[in-house]
Amino acid sequence: MSVFHLPRLHFAGAAITRLPTGPRAGWLDLETNQAIDDNGVFDTDRPVQEYYDFLADSKGHNFEGNGHFWVDAKVVSTELTAGQVVTDDLVVGRQLDFWGHFCDYTAGTANRSRVFDVDPASNWTTTLMVGQLALGRSGRSHDVPYLVTGDVNGMCPPRWNRFHTVLHQFAVDKAEGLHWLDGAEDSPALARLREVVEGDADGLVVQFGITDQKHTGEGQPDVWQLRGSIAAWYRTELRTYPAGRLLTPRTTGSALPNVSVHVTDEHVTANLVTARPDTDLEVRTASGTLLATITSTEDSSGVVVASRVDGGTGNPAEPLVITAPDGTVLSREEEVVVESDEAALFLEHENTGTGEDHAVEIPVRSYLRGVPARVDRIHVRQYVNPAALPLAKDRDTAQLVAFLPTGHADYQAEQVMSTDEHGRGTITLKGVRGGATRVLLRPEATPEPAGATAAERYDNDDEQGYWSAVGSVAVRVLPDHWDLDDLPDEEITFPTLYREALAYYELQYSFMRSEVLSLADEFKVEPYARLIWHVSAPEHKGKTFYMPPTRDMSAPQIRMLLRYLLADDAQRQTPPTFVPQQRKLGTITTKDQLLHALYQAAAIELATMVQYLYAAYSVPTHGAGKKLVERGEWTEEQLLTACGEGTETWNNGIRGSLMSVAREEMMHFLAINNILMAMGRPFHLPKLDFSTFNSDICVPLEFSLEALNLASVQRFVALEQPHDLIDDIEGNDSTVLRADGEPYQYGSLSELYAAIREGVQAVPGVFLVKKGRGGGAHHLFMRESVNAVHPDYQLEVDDVASAVFAIDFVTEHGEGGQIPSTLPEEESHFDTFLRISEMLIAERAKGPNGRRIPWNPAYPVMRNPTLKPGNPAMDHVTHEPARIAMKAFNRSYFLAMQLMVQHFGYSPDKSLRRSRLMNWSLDIMTGVLRPLGELVVTLPSGRPGRTAGPSFELDSAPEYISRPDIAVEWMAREFDEVAALARKCTGFGLTPTVGDLLAFIGESLRTMDLKEI
């Protein structure tokens, strides 16, 4: 029963339209969509301003309207019981908004609804389009929020149109998106309405009348009075046409416009949304029985309830009339009403070249005295608007559409149809000529429109009062542009696009130039190509943001626009051609350049080892992982992936792989130092600062202390990637020697090592060490594949050949394929990280909002943690237990490095595995740093959601102490202090053996024979 159904909400306010009505002046040919002037079609090569000047000479008004429509309205009353208007409901006084559709491309809010003319040459076809209903805010919605929102689809054609008084209606289908928000239950009217809708109703109907149009100035919005109602909607009713029994005056100048009524045993309810009668209205049967009197009122709801006064003696099944108190008949019932929700129709022109008719089928609904019923012999005939065809000589007789009656093979100029017992039927029609017409849906008993000419029958000024009482469909047949599909790509230039598609809008709708962009300027259109295509795409034609807002761009024009935009996009960028990389030769030609490269390599190797250790520490130990399984946070498979089968096996999972790679990186660091010492340089231990490290190295790589995750693993892959896997760019003219004297910037660590390998062979006389004195023997973490063919190798460097082999040893680990072996090639670091990456991608975990995300096995450790405040590139740890443990870790790391420095300072030729200093250094790495690191990553950091992490920070770089007695005493004191610090950590979960080991080394230093150093 539409607005006749209870409960009802009534609203009132203002409606604002910015309809571009200038084209109604007649300077537009709709058959071709071309602007015209006094001399015919306006030449699009002429300046646009010349046409604007022509239009400004009293040829029309409001050419600058942008098609926006919005309302400023509030709920004024509710109605739970027929005729009892309530004004104290919570929803009364709340705002009602008609918003437009959301545009995915612009992703904006405050989207406007739209108003447009299906036929720009007509006064009859002004149509609205709403995208979203929103009800209930008071002020801003984030202050007092909406109570109900709903999605709106389809067009809202004008109903009961008297030009300055018109009705519009739309439905919010609950199946398409109707949302009852928090607080709606506090309004009795909304709570009851929701109950009805969630019961047997199908959604909401929103009906409103806009009256008393006021122009506010040239190019300014028009303001209308607005009032309407919201109620439950049922599918037996039309979405866009008011339900009930229709009574019309069938004359012009009547004091009473169209009215619909609903009669029950107790009441007569009248829909007066577009009427404000100044006299009482008497609703009678055709035989004269008075059913009810609707008193004259200033009530703003538009829906008025009157009690039956006939005591049930009248027969409501008779036709109804409305009379004035003096008996004057003001309106009579249209017993048969035939309408279509698709009453604003845009048709593509048939394609005679391909035989495609591009026909559409539209639904038709018929009602007998307000009830769906079968109607036979409905005459379907077109009435052309001759004003839409100013250049056509046959505009009075033009036929723009053709109909295909059910069961017929051929199209006809008109047809006679019937609906079924439910009042449902369809019409199939196609466009045969560009222009605008109106299709009349005339029941047999209804007369045809009068007039000897097409203009009189179309009655654009409503002199007959005919068209607002009958059902019709406004049809716009788009021009025949199918020849545009045959244009070759090379002819679709911007001038062609402008002439064939854009000029019409630029000339007739100047708001584009003044408010958005000029369609005549390629430099304006080209930057917004994607936006233009998105808002003009055919699938968006039913959205309020569709452009052009007139909705009359033909399919061939749209395709031409897309072809132009695609061609323009193809020219915007040419991808580079990739070719095999040819490494630049001669990057190292001097001793200083070689030393610089080696120092860089040493720093990178140490930083690499440290970041791998950090990532390894971030992964729970096997014992901790088992607890995570017990808690249901990990699966058994995830435990196996992260931690392997346990420390008693060789399979230690991702964690074990990281630890193994980190140990090998330490060997690389020692190998590089052996080359440096063979060149006469001291053992080099760089001080790492991860806030500046990336800007200090000569390779474009990123280093940081970060948890193991997909992102960090991808950094590790890039670090270890062989340079020959990276293609070069064709035409690249990079040079080895830079004019500014800056050191050569290597593309990767792999390229740096290739340059060092070349440099140690190219630079003469760099090795000063005597044969056989090439560094302390060390043969741990060397790989079985190396042992199989070089079982005597111990990292020594004493000439060019041994230096080259040391570089090959380093790259064998990182990249693979450098040292031939009798055994199968072992997994390189590069392949290790590719494997870990694949494992993390394959394993999934439950993420937010039910998403399946890549599994992250690491604790949420900080990125680049620090004990020092004030550095924005580092994450400051403030939790005191974590700070104590980190201090113990950092000082232990310093002592491990100091022992190395002392060893290589005292006895660089001595075997590393027989050196007490080096062995103690290794003891610290395994017995102190590892348990401390594993503890720190479980401690709170002071920042929400993050644990701490070992920072590897050194207050100063370890320096060689030349006097052995002073060195051992100083180091012993340091070990005592760090042991005490470690013992404080036992309360946080650290094993006591860490403090014991540190104290043991300190005491051993005091008592050792200095000859053993």
Output the six-digit token pair for 933. 């690191």
- The DSSP bridge partners found for residue 304 are 270
CA distances to 12, 224, 244, 585 from 271, rounded to whole Å, are 15, 19, 8, 90
3-state secondary structure of 134: strand
Give the model's confidence band at 786: pLDDT under 50 very low, under 70 low, under 90 confident, else very high. Answer: low
Residue-wise pLDDT tens digits, 45-102: 999 999 988 887 756 667 788 999 999 999 999 999 998 999 999 999 999 999 999 9
Angle between helices 800-814 and 749-762 (to 10 degrees): 170
User: How many CA within 13 A on the CB side of residue 920?
Assistant: 29
Give 190-238 as a DSSP string. HHHHHHHHTTT--EEEEEEEEEEEEE-STTSPEEEEEEEEEEEE-TTS-
Q: Helices 829-842 and 653-678: crossing angle, nearest 10°? A: 160
Cα 259 from chain centre: 46
Task: Give pLDDT, residue 986.
Answer: 94
Alpha-carbon dihedral angle through residues 497, 503, 505, 511, given to the nearest 10 degrees = 110
- In this predicted structure, the answer to whether residue 904 has a pLDDT above a threshold of 80 is yes
Give me the long-range contacts of 955-961 (CB less than 8 A, separation at least 24). 955/894, 956/687, 957/685, 957/686, 957/687, 958/685, 958/894, 958/897, 958/898, 958/900, 958/901, 959/901, 960/682, 960/683, 960/901, 960/902, 960/905, 961/902, 961/905
pTM listed for this prediction: 0.79
Ramachandran angles phi, psi of 501, nearest 5°: -135, -40
Residues 6+ apart with CB under 8 A from 555: 348, 358, 478, 481, 538
Q: What local confidence, expressed as pLDDT, does residue 333 receive?
A: 96
Query: Which residues, in sequence order, are CB contacts of 580 under 8 Å at separation 6+?
Result: 724, 727, 728
**Encoded tokens for 809:** 């040893």
CATH architecture of 863-1012: Up-down Bundle (1.20)
DSSP character at residue 748: S
**Is the pLDDT assigned to residue 817 strictly greater than 90?**
no
Q: What is residue 597's predicted lDDT score, i.e. its pLDDT?
A: 93
Rounded to whole angstroms, how far apart are CA atoms 861 and 854?
A: 18
CA distance 28 to 40: 10
Three-class HEC string of 512-558: HHHHHCCCCCHHHHHHHHHHHHHHHCHHHCCCCCCCCCCCCCCHHHH
Q: Which fold has domain 587-726+746-858?
A: Ferritin (1.20.1260)
Interval 310-361: pLDDT, tens: 988 889 899 999 999 999 999 999 999 999 999 999 999 999 999 999 999 9
Please enumerate in sequence order all residues whose Cβ is within 8 A of that of 340, keeping only pairs 6 or more positions apart, or say none.
362, 363, 364, 365, 427, 441, 471, 473
pLDDT band at 846 (very low <50, low <70, confident <90, very high): confident
Q: Give the CATH architecture of domain 337-477.
A: Sandwich (2.60)
Burial of 618 (0-12, 13-18, 19+ CB in 10 A): buried
pLDDT band at 364 (very low <50, low <70, confident <90, very high): very high
Reported as a single tens digit per residue, the pLDDT across 488-522 is: 999 999 999 999 999 999 998 888 788 778 888 88
Res 742: pLDDT: 66
Helix (H, G, I), strand (E, B) or coil at 809: helix
Average pLDDT over residues 629-647: 90
Interhelix angle for 710-720 vs 749-762, to 10°? 20
Residue 909 CA to residue 677 CA, distance in Å, equals: 10
Nearest CA to 431 among 462, 452, 400? 400
Give the mean model confidence (pLDDT) for residues 631-642.
93
The contacts found for 45-51 with CB under 8 angstroms, 24 or more apart, are 48/506, 48/507, 48/513, 48/518, 48/520, 51/507
Type of residue numbered 710: L
Looking up tokens 């004493």 gives 798
Distance CA 280, CA 272 (A): 12
- Determine the pLDDT at residue 739: 52
For 706, phi then psi, to 5°, come to -145, 150
The pLDDT value given to residue 299: 65
pLDDT digits (tens, 9 = 90+) for 371-416: 999 999 999 999 999 999 999 999 999 999 999 999 999 999 999 9
Q: In this structure, are strands 68-81 and 8-17 parallel, antiparallel, or unpaired?
A: antiparallel
pLDDT of residue 847: 81
Q: Is the pLDDT of residue 197 over 90?
A: yes
- Taking residues 213-220, what's their average pLDDT? 82
> Are 403 and 429 contacting, i.e. CB atoms less than 8 angstroms apart?
yes
pLDDT digits (tens, 9 = 90+) for 272-321: 999 988 889 999 999 999 999 998 876 668 999 999 999 888 898 999 99
User: Are 144 and 152 contacting, i.e. CB atoms less than 8 angstroms apart?
Assistant: no
536/1006 Cα distance (integer angstroms): 84
- pLDDT of 563: 93
Q: Select, from the ranges 472-476, 527-531, 630-634, the one with the highest average predicted confidence (pLDDT).
A: 472-476
pLDDT value, residue 148: 97
Contacts of range 543-547, beta carbons closer than 8 Å, 24 or more positions apart = 543/100, 543/101, 543/103, 543/131, 544/100, 544/101, 544/111, 544/112, 544/113, 544/114, 544/129, 544/130, 544/131, 545/100, 545/101, 545/103, 545/106, 545/111
Strand order in the sheet with 471-477: 344-347, 471-477, 435-442, 378-384, 415-417
Element (H, E) at 964: helix 964-984
**Please, what is the average pLDDT of the chain?**
91
Q: Which long-range contacts (CB under 8 A, 24 or more apart) does 893-896 make?
A: 893/924, 893/929, 893/950, 893/952, 893/954, 894/954, 894/955, 894/958, 895/924, 895/971, 895/974, 895/975, 895/978, 896/921, 896/924, 896/925, 896/928, 896/929
Banded model confidence at residue 435, pLDDT cuts 50, 70, 90: very high
pLDDT for the residue 736: 55
Query: What would the 3-class secondary structure string for 318-331 be?
Result: CCEEEECCCCCEEE
Q: What is the pLDDT of residue 586?
A: 66
Taking phi over 0 as left and psi of -120 to 50 as alpha, with beta for the rest, 758 belongs to alpha
Tell me the pLDDT tens digit for each residue of 850-899. Answer: 888 888 999 999 999 999 999 999 999 999 999 999 999 999 999 999 99
CA-to-CA distance for 938 and 476, rounded, in angstroms? 71
pLDDT at 114 over 90: yes
Q: What percent of the chain has pLDDT over 90?
A: 71
In our burial notation (b when 16+ CB lie closer than 10 A, e otherwise), range 945-981 reads: ebbbbbbbbbeeebeebeebeebbeebbebbbebbeb
